Amino acid sequence: MAGYTDMVFRQICKQRGAGLVYTEFVSADAIVRHKARTMTYLRFEESERPVGVQIFGSDPQTVALAVELIAEKFQPDLIDLNFGCSVRKVVKKQAGAALLKDLPLLQKIAEAAVGAINLPVTAKYRMGWSPGQNVAVEVAQRLEQAGVVAITIHPRTAIEAFKKPADWKVIAAVKAAVSIPVIGNGDIKTAEDAKRMLVETGCDAVMIGRGALANPWIFQQVAELLQTGIVSTCFSPSDKVLLCLEHLQREAELVGFDHATRLMKKFYGWYFRGIPAAARIREQLVRSSDYRQTYQFLISLLK
Ligand SMILES: Cc1cc2nc3c(=O)[nH]c(=O)nc-3n(C[C@H](O)[C@H](O)[C@H](O)COP(=O)(O)O)c2cc1C
């Protein structure tokens, strides 16, 4: 998730049971131009493996060049193509979810990526561009034909963004239509949701986005539920404060005190969601622009 799944957050999830993590998505154009800042998004540590790199682009040749460069320089375990992002700066370049309006081009991009490297290429997409449009099965079949080895479907249209609930029936239809692994995505907030998606849709794996921001322990809870039938591990507000402290400290080591203090502000709303006094805690943390002050405030919550 752009803006969130940096090295520190990925490791937090990995240490709590995530089976596969992805770097923040990058533009194929920027990769080909060797944009220094873009390259920093692609760095990961060996302990994160298996790790995927996600890219977006609208030109098959550029995407092929970009995946070649990434494969050579970073050697991730897989490269994922984004056909789902509905953010303006991506779709105005005819990339991300905009490609759901041009399926032959989407397929050419996938073929170009698959043909350029020996690494597995996967893809993630939304069910269509505008409300009422459902090209999920056609896209899945085209991606399979292109040689993509697994797909993730987020069953909402681009225009809907996050407004309506994800339509899990679409995941089931996709699963029935292709033989490559299908990863279901959308609205998994608890371990029970994950199990329900697996059972209801028959998908091979689930991908968790926002649910992990609110509860990075969700991955181990899913594993526990699937293995034992129950979730015995639950996490208290103090556990969340301790996690915030760890996250803040590790970001500071990676990007420096000031940047870490700023960067962490977007996480607090998620981390403290649903706990008593969440709004007051978040407000205090967002107001502070001093690392030490933020740290002390978090410590005070443990007393
Ligand atoms: C802040 C944010 C950033 C995201 N960035 C990406 C991204 O870079 N690539 C991508 O494929 N999906 C991205 N997504 C979409 C999620 O991967 C996921 O498809 C969506 O949030 C639905 O799943 P969820 O209900 O588990 O969050 C992002 C979502 C959010 C909320």
How many C-beta neighbours within 10 Å does residue 177 have? 14
* Tens-digit pLDDT string for the chain (303 aa): 999 999 999 999 999 999 999 999 999 999 999 999 999 999 999 999 999 999 999 999 999 999 999 999 999 999 999 999 999 999 999 999 999 999 999 999 999 999 999 999 999 999 999 999 999 999 999 999 999 999 999 999 999 989 899 999 999 999 999 999 999 999 999 999 999 999 999 999 999 999 999 999 999 999 999 999 999 988 888 999 999 999 999 999 999 999 999 999 999 999 998 888 889 999 999 999 999 999 999 999 998
Residue 83 pairs in a beta bridge with: 125
pLDDT given at position 303: 87
Q: Provide the b/e sequence for 251-275 (b: ≥16 CB within 10 Å).
A: bbeebebeebbebbeebbbbbbeee
Token match 């030490």: residue? 292
Contact 171, 203 (CB under 8 A): yes
Can you give the pLDDT at residue 252? 98
Mutation probe of ligand 1 site: the residue of 4, 154, 222, 266 with most atoms within 8 A of C-beta: 154
Active site residue: 13, 85, 203, 244, which one?
85
pLDDT of residue 212: 97
89: alpha, beta or left? (left if phi > 0; alpha if psi -120 to 50): alpha
Q: Which two tokens stand for residue 238?
A: 């103090």
| pLDDT of the residue at 115 | 98
C-alpha dihedral sign at 137, 225, 186, 30 = negative
Here the tokens at position 185 are: 């995505």
Instruction: Looking at the CA of residue 80, tell me the nearest atom of ligand 1.
Output: 11
Tokens at 76, concatenated = 């991730």
Q: Ligand 1: which atom is nearest the Cα of residue 84?
A: 11
By C-alpha distance, which of 21, 119, 106 is closest to 68? 119
Residue 152's contacts (CB-CB under 8 Å, 6 or more residues apart) are: 80, 122, 123, 124, 125, 182, 183, 184, 185, 207
The binding-site residues of ligand 1, defined as CB within 6 angstroms of any ligand atom, are: 1-4, 24-25, 54, 82, 84-85, 124, 154, 185-188, 208-211
- How much is the pTM? 0.96
Is residue 85 part of the annotated active site? The answer reads: yes
Res 209: pLDDT: 98
Distance CA 266, CA 134 (A): 33
**Alpha carbon nearest to ligand 1 atom 28, residue:** 1
pLDDT of residue 276: 81
Q: Closest Cα to residue 56, out of 39, 79, 73, 33?
A: 79
Structure tokens at 255: 């990007």
For the chain, the residue count is 303
Q: Which domains does the chain have, with CATH numbers?
A: 7-228 (3.20.20.70), 237-300 (1.10.1200)
**Could you tell me the distance, in angstroms and rounded to a whole number, from the CA of residue 185 to the centre of ligand 1?**
9
